[in-house]
Structure 1
Amino acid sequence: MLLRMAECGSGWRLGAIFGLCWLLLAGSAEATPPDTEAEAPAAESSTADEPVVAQGTVVTATRLPRPVRDVPATVTVIPRSEIDRSPTLTQDSLLRTLPSAATFRRTSSLVSDPTAQGLNLRGLAPSGVSRSLVLVDGLPANDPFGGWVYWRALPRLGLERIEVVPSGGSALYGSAALGGVVQLFSRPITGPSLEADAAYGLLGTGQLAARGSERWGPVGAALETELLTTEGHSVVAPGQRGAIDQRAPSNHATLNGRVEVEASPSLHLGARLGLFRENQNGGTTFTTARAESALLGANARLSTEAAGNFELLLFGRRVSFEQRRARVASDRSSEVLAAIQDVPAEEEGGSLVWTSPTWALGGSHVLGAGVDLRRVSGTSDERLFPPTASPTSTALRRTGGAQRFSGLFVQDLYTVTPAVELMAALRWDTWRNVEGTRRVEQANGAAETTTFEDRSEQQLSPRLGVRVSPREWLTLRASGYRAFRAPTLNELYRPFQVGTVLTSANEALRAERLVGGEAGFETLPFPGMTARVTGFWNELEEPITNVTLEAPLPDGSQRQRQNLGRARVRGLEAGVDWRVSRQWTALLAYTFVDSEVREAPGALELVGKQLAQDPAHRGTAIVTFHEPSLLTATVQLRVTGPQFEDDLNERGMGGYAVVDAFVSRQLVQRLELFAAVENLFNRRYLVGRAGIDTIGQPLMLRVGLRLRSAP
């Protein structure tokens, strides 16, 4: 089990979570004392007496390998063992067990349009467009046109670990990392292996996943696939369902391949190919979404004694997203097709990063520098079916453009003494919006084309951090940063609809900027336990927000994307991770977030409002029992506080708590039987109120087999 970022707050929810976890921990306190020969889930070399989070190496926070305890930034790691034992089915659900991590809406990607699955860290102004960067082995996973994440394109069987850095990351990663970085790391290719998972369960949900790898001397290869289909559940709240409402089925297929070559002791080469397809139905005949993507990447890493390490990364990706929207009768007795939207996009990019050898000057320094380039292009082709057709009705709308990004960063990791480490990073970014156009064609064939002026912006992003370890059992961390996020092509050019609410694009959007900091401590009060507390404060300047308009636009849009003014997001994370005994581990985590709109020129009624889709309280409690000769079992409680659907704070959604569980037992050597359940007590809760109330996933039970042919 790892340390999760817990977030402190007030009220009965906090007391209930801490109370439950205290009972769980207290009830286990009389168990067998920690056994130093126990296997620790975070690292094979760990002992049960050593805190899990103190073990292992992380990469994301500094773009080079560092022991996790020595990093001068808050980092959370989900290791392979915990991924295997999680009751969750999708990667977004897995990440939501971290209270500081969430997607824009509360619903699972199983039944949610991908455009509503933007990653949100520490409550930093959630939106369908991620304000945080998702990487897979260094390659960006955010959609190039819209910034959202296709969570189902990231198969779980091939993951080694997930690293989460929930603070401004633009100093190292540029625009998309305004709110932080989540990186998924593939399992190493170590030799011949064959693994497979097969499961079936409620809601007609079936899953098949397989991974094979082999090594021939210096050459290694791995191939993995995942197929999943579900009949879904009825997403509209029972009291509002009509004749058109049905289940929300979906399916997806992924295929990923990797090749690695150790060309020499100092030169490592790699290549990968990833294919993905997803079909999703929103619960009615004419509300559907389809996504396809193809990714090709290559990397080379050269290690030298005298000059340090050089890593080159190149990638290209093509993505296609198609969405159908419906016009629904007020009593939901009928629907007609309102629009078909097709969004093809492509992306090419690369980076070169240099890491110096360690050199001495008043301590030891490791320097890093890098440059990266990226180009994105895409269009939104929209065919409209107006309710009352006329010769001047808009029939076709095509909008789009291209963006060019470039960035340069430098970094110094300065170890003054083993107890004191400083980190300083500075990055310069420039980006340019080009080729922006909008063509509107009426039913009578008349057309109007608007060409948008090319625009460019620049940003300087610094970050300073310090780590002090005055005692072996105590680590102090603090950092300050400035970050930014350029508007995506989606925000600049593509209108969208959720329920009955239509939101307009805005080609005049500017980059949003963040100034913030964090400070906290990590302590080892006694063997087997790690506790961590981190406070954070972020000021988000000119955030891109969906603003409710006083009067609809000519196309019927009730909302429009705008640079809002300024918002403050502050909070506290706290967590306890305890290996109670050789078999038992327990976790308590909680995140408190206080978000508020501070300035809103042109929309003064928003000042003082809480940010939409941003609950103040989130918490997790997890208890795991692991005895290979008997069984493995995990029970987790996830609590989310009340939040608002809209920027005016008029559509509230109550808090909820759900319990998930996982149990497995080895049948014969390398064959395991498992069962997993999400929302064990079938709790009904709201996930959206955009013109219609929608509900979250009900009880989901699945049973399956796991085959492991390699140790």
Structure 2
Amino acid sequence: MSGPCTPQSSLRRSPLPAPHLQLRPWVLLLALLLATGAGAQSSDGGGDGLVATTGAGADAGVSSEPSVPAPEDARPSAGTVITGTRLPRPMRDVPAATVVIPRAEIERSPTLTQDALVRTLPSATTFRRTPSLVSDPTAQGLNLRGLAPSGVARSLVLLDGIPVNDPFGGWIFWRSLPRLGLEGIEVVPSGSSALYGSAALGGVVQLVSRTIDRPELAADLAYGNLGTGFLAARAADTWGPVRASLETELLSSDGYPLVVASQRGPIDTDTPSNHAVLNGRVESDVSEALHVFAHAGLFRENQNGGTRSTTARVELAHFGAGARLRTEGRGTFALDVYGRLQRFEQQRARVAPDRAFESTAASQDVPADDQGALLVWTAPAWAWGGTHVLTVGADARRMAGTSQERLFPPEPAPASTLLRAAGGTQLSGGVFLQDLYTVSPALELSAALRMDLWRNTQGEQHVERASGDVETTAFDSRTEQQLSPRLGVRVRPVNWLTLRASGYRAFRAPTLNELYRPFQVGTVLTAANADLRAERLWGAEAGVETGLFQGLTARVTGFWNVLDDAVTNVTLAEPLPDGTTRQRQNLGRARVRGVEVGVDWRLSRRWTALLAYTFVDPTVLLAPGQPELVGRQLAQDPRHRGTAIVSFEDPALLTATVQLRVTGPQYEDDLNERGMGGYALVDVAASRHLFWKLDVFGAVENLFDREYLAGRAGVDTLGPPLTARVGLRLRDVP
């Protein structure tokens, strides 16, 4: 969860307004810019892929031979995915339901930030529905299929196989992941601990970088309302067997007034933010059998939550290296090592009831670091009643961090807390085994099993009182383990029909943040809990995908998950002595079931469409000590989410995308006392070729300037208003 600069994720139903007059200058400017390219011809081809897909369409034939996965060191190519099995596979052959956003659709998306892009998939959301443009990372936890949303991601986010979840809180620094260097985004929205361990409780989202195979230069430059300026650039080159790339992204925004007008006071202002990213990568083919690489990056982000004393800051440095070795008869070996150093700072405010004045309530400084390694061996395919591909892997990770907090009570008493420091170290490791068994082109079975072990150690809380007293509490070291199986089957009785089913067990160990760090959102204080246990999940999914008509793919997937001991922010019957009204607790049991429906349709060479809908029924089944929660809907979890996207691409005319995003009603709190209505947003983007490799583009999010609530944590806060930008794009100059 977040500090005060993060709005709550709640909605209020309101009538859809007509377009505001302020839209007209942007529409006119966009039309003028597009008109300047009249008659320009593009040297590039037509469209290349749908907005999101889970498999090849009806034109994908069935081979007469079993589909054998590529070795682990191979990168996914067009039509393949890697996340669901850790091996590049044709998308239609993967037993787990998988969704992909290809590079072409990333470029066409109207969204500005990476988290907003991922949220265009109805099954993928972040805890807060305000974007990372105004919400710091502690409120941007990834949630798939409505699996108990929280500030901590219950799903794993990878960049080329390396976890990017924050080592202290499991947070996602979305703005540190620039999209210009991405080939695609893969989403596997089901329990994946059997292959990836902790954090993959609810699934995996993997960002796949573009390959470096030739000299390239690409750039985006844009400016928009809300004082938003954006610059991104990527350069790549090759020198014989050596290849390198460098990318950067800069963004600055003045933000918008976060608090609703009726509650806004003199202290409330806009929410300015900025960030800078610099990433580099070097790789080399030492020989035909050995490939090595190294990468590093820097990231900085500054945010203001709408008042002088609500701020957040992130500084991050990450690094890594790896090697891939192919052998003739012993398979493929892949080794990755990685680490990061980071610092998260947050300042919280004490606000008067009429919001006429504020004072600093607390400031936090959270330094953290982690180091990890991963070794995977993929055996040569072998025949025994079909084709088997065996994968064996082991990984280990060390995570450490401390929350250093200074508090400023308005009227200090001798017992008042002035300084509080809490943190520790978490050591984790696991081994896994997977067998992909292709019986025939029509039938494939998969089985994976993983054993994880983790240990929380060196946990300590240090408190200094106004009286001068010092209290130090050392928390006992704790060790837990988990066995995570997964079984899957893919059946294709005829070319146009694919059936998938899988069952799994998954888990998530509590983060150092949940164990030790208290936090505040608005006027609500939530305490940490050093006695938290791991969350555990049993689940299953089954689905059907059809490609009966040329260019049309339809799919339906049903899922059923039971989450035990979910780490949840529970409202206490009586506040704690310091005024805390909530505490992190293992809730008991929750059932999350639902269905996903999607249709990808290439209407013609120029027109593509996508319709996607996710229904989720998230219900508390068991809550020891909190019987009033039984039968309640999980907080921050709407039952209905949908997306409709239509894209048009004609190189001689323009490229355009219109998308509708709909979110249903939900509850702000665990007691379901703060109900909110849903909302619908329309986004548009268009680009036109000018000359050479230069395009002009424009994008608008929330086209009709729909006003909707994003939170009610003591004060009602708003989601983003209409945001528009126009710019120039330099496309892949060789």
Of 84, 95, 101, which aligns to 1:72?
95
1:387 Cα deviation after fit: 1.6
**Corresponding position of 1:634:** 657
Contact 2:342-2:367 within 8 A present in 1 as well: yes
Q: Secondary structure in 1 aligned to 2:574? A: coil
1:361 Cα deviation after fit: 0.1
2:49 is the counterpart of 1:41:
yes
1:39 Cα deviation after fit: 4.8
1:682 Cα deviation after fit: 0.2
1:224-252: CA deviation from partner (whole Å, max 9, x where unpaired): 00000000011111111111101011000
1:491-519: CA deviation from partner (whole Å, max 9, x where unpaired): 00000011110000000000000000000
Contact 1:266-1:304 within 8 A present in 2 as well: yes
- Between the aligned partners of 1:572 and 1:393, the Cα distance in structure 2 is 50
2:271 is the counterpart of 1:248:
yes
Of 336, 342, 362, which aligns to 1:339?
362
Q: What are the within-5 Å matches in structure 2 for residues 355-394 of structure 1?
A: 355-394=378-417
| Letter paired with 2:271 | A
2:452 is the counterpart of 1:433:
no
Q: What are the within-5 Å matches in structure 2 for residues 83-232 of structure 1?
A: 83-232=106-255
Contact 1:51-1:530 within 8 A present in 2 as well: no
Of 273, 277, 294, which aligns to 1:271?
294
Higher relative contact order (CA 8 A, sep 6+): 2
Contact 2:46-2:651 within 8 A present in 1 as well: no
**Corresponding position of 2:375:** 352
Q: Secondary structure in 1 aligned to 2:733? A: coil
**Corresponding position of 2:503:** 480
2:423 is the counterpart of 1:400:
yes
1:54 Cα deviation after fit: 12
- Between the aligned partners of 1:277 and 1:142, the Cα distance in structure 2 is 16
**Corresponding position of 1:609:** 632
- Between the aligned partners of 1:538 and 1:113, the Cα distance in structure 2 is 29
Of 469, 475, 482, which aligns to 1:446?
469
- Between the aligned partners of 1:54 and 1:273, the Cα distance in structure 2 is 24
Contact 1:276-1:293 within 8 A present in 2 as well: yes
**Corresponding position of 2:576:** 553
Contact 1:39-1:47 within 8 A present in 2 as well: no
Contact 1:39-1:48 within 8 A present in 2 as well: no
- Between the aligned partners of 1:661 and 1:682, the Cα distance in structure 2 is 13
Note closer, same or farther for the CA distance 1:353–1:383 as it changes in structure 2 (3 Å cut): same
| Letter paired with 2:533 | R
**Corresponding position of 1:583:** 606
1:442 Cα deviation after fit: 1.1
Note closer, same or farther for the CA distance 1:447–1:132 as it changes in structure 2 (3 Å cut): same
Contact 1:103-1:118 within 8 A present in 2 as well: yes
Q: What are the within-5 Å matches in structure 2 for residues 513-524 of structure 1?
A: 513-524=536-547
- Between the aligned partners of 1:113 and 1:558, the Cα distance in structure 2 is 22
Contact 1:48-1:582 within 8 A present in 2 as well: no
- Between the aligned partners of 1:231 and 1:646, the Cα distance in structure 2 is 30
Q: What are the within-5 Å matches in structure 2 for residues 406-421 of structure 1?
A: 406-421=429-444
1:709 Cα deviation after fit: 4.3
1:181-218: CA deviation from partner (whole Å, max 9, x where unpaired): 00001100011111110000010000000000000111
- Between the aligned partners of 1:210 and 1:322, the Cα distance in structure 2 is 28
- Between the aligned partners of 2:717 and 2:137, the Cα distance in structure 1 is 16
1:710 Cα deviation after fit: 2.6
Of 710, 713, 718, which aligns to 1:687?
710
| Letter paired with 2:268 | D
**Corresponding position of 2:283:** 260
1:55 Cα deviation after fit: 6.2
- Between the aligned partners of 1:306 and 1:379, the Cα distance in structure 2 is 48
**Corresponding position of 1:8:** none
| Letter paired with 1:418 | P
| Letter paired with 1:75 | T
- Between the aligned partners of 1:165 and 1:648, the Cα distance in structure 2 is 31
1:305 Cα deviation after fit: 2.1
Of 531, 553, 560, which aligns to 2:554?
531
Contact 1:38-1:47 within 8 A present in 2 as well: no
Contact 2:50-2:608 within 8 A present in 1 as well: no
- How many residue pairs are counted as aligned between the two chains? 675
Q: TM-score, normalised by structure 1?
A: 0.93
**Corresponding position of 1:665:** 688
**Corresponding position of 2:317:** 294
Q: Secondary structure in 1 aligned to 2:226? A: helix
Note closer, same or farther for the CA distance 1:51–1:605 as it changes in structure 2 (3 Å cut): farther
| Letter paired with 2:204 | V
Contact 2:167-2:370 within 8 A present in 1 as well: yes
2:347 is the counterpart of 1:324:
yes
Contact 1:101-1:121 within 8 A present in 2 as well: yes
Contact 1:133-1:142 within 8 A present in 2 as well: yes
1:391 Cα deviation after fit: 3.0
1:41 Cα deviation after fit: 2.1
- Between the aligned partners of 2:591 and 2:520, the Cα distance in structure 1 is 27
- Between the aligned partners of 1:525 and 1:262, the Cα distance in structure 2 is 43
Q: Secondary structure in 1 aligned to 2:436? A: strand
- Between the aligned partners of 1:142 and 1:527, the Cα distance in structure 2 is 40
- Between the aligned partners of 1:669 and 1:553, the Cα distance in structure 2 is 66
Note closer, same or farther for the CA distance 1:198–1:499 as it changes in structure 2 (3 Å cut): same
1:445 Cα deviation after fit: 2.2
- Between the aligned partners of 1:54 and 1:475, the Cα distance in structure 2 is 21
- Between the aligned partners of 1:49 and 1:408, the Cα distance in structure 2 is 38
1:514-564: CA deviation from partner (whole Å, max 9, x where unpaired): 000000010012000000000000000010000001111112111000000
- Between the aligned partners of 1:465 and 1:55, the Cα distance in structure 2 is 24
Contact 1:279-1:291 within 8 A present in 2 as well: yes
- Between the aligned partners of 2:58 and 2:653, the Cα distance in structure 1 is 22
Note closer, same or farther for the CA distance 1:468–1:661 as it changes in structure 2 (3 Å cut): same
1:141 Cα deviation after fit: 0.8
- Between the aligned partners of 2:408 and 2:490, the Cα distance in structure 1 is 59
Q: TM-score, normalised by structure 2?
A: 0.90
Structure 2 residue runs of 5 or longer lacking an equivalent are: 1-12, 15-44, 62-75
Structure 1 residue runs of 5 or longer lacking an equivalent are: 1-11, 14-36
Of 697, 702, 706, which aligns to 2:720?
697
Note closer, same or farther for the CA distance 1:469–1:47 as it changes in structure 2 (3 Å cut): closer
Contact 1:517-1:536 within 8 A present in 2 as well: yes
**Corresponding position of 2:39:** none
1:47 Cα deviation after fit: 11
2:288 is the counterpart of 1:280:
no
**Corresponding position of 1:6:** none
1:70 Cα deviation after fit: 0.3
Contact 2:46-2:650 within 8 A present in 1 as well: no
Note closer, same or farther for the CA distance 1:110–1:424 as it changes in structure 2 (3 Å cut): same
Contact 2:58-2:495 within 8 A present in 1 as well: no
Q: Secondary structure in 1 aligned to 2:591? A: strand
- Between the aligned partners of 2:159 and 2:349, the Cα distance in structure 1 is 35
Contact 1:55-1:69 within 8 A present in 2 as well: no
Contact 1:54-1:69 within 8 A present in 2 as well: no
Q: Secondary structure in 1 aligned to 2:316? A: strand
Contact 1:54-1:68 within 8 A present in 2 as well: no
1:640 Cα deviation after fit: 0.2
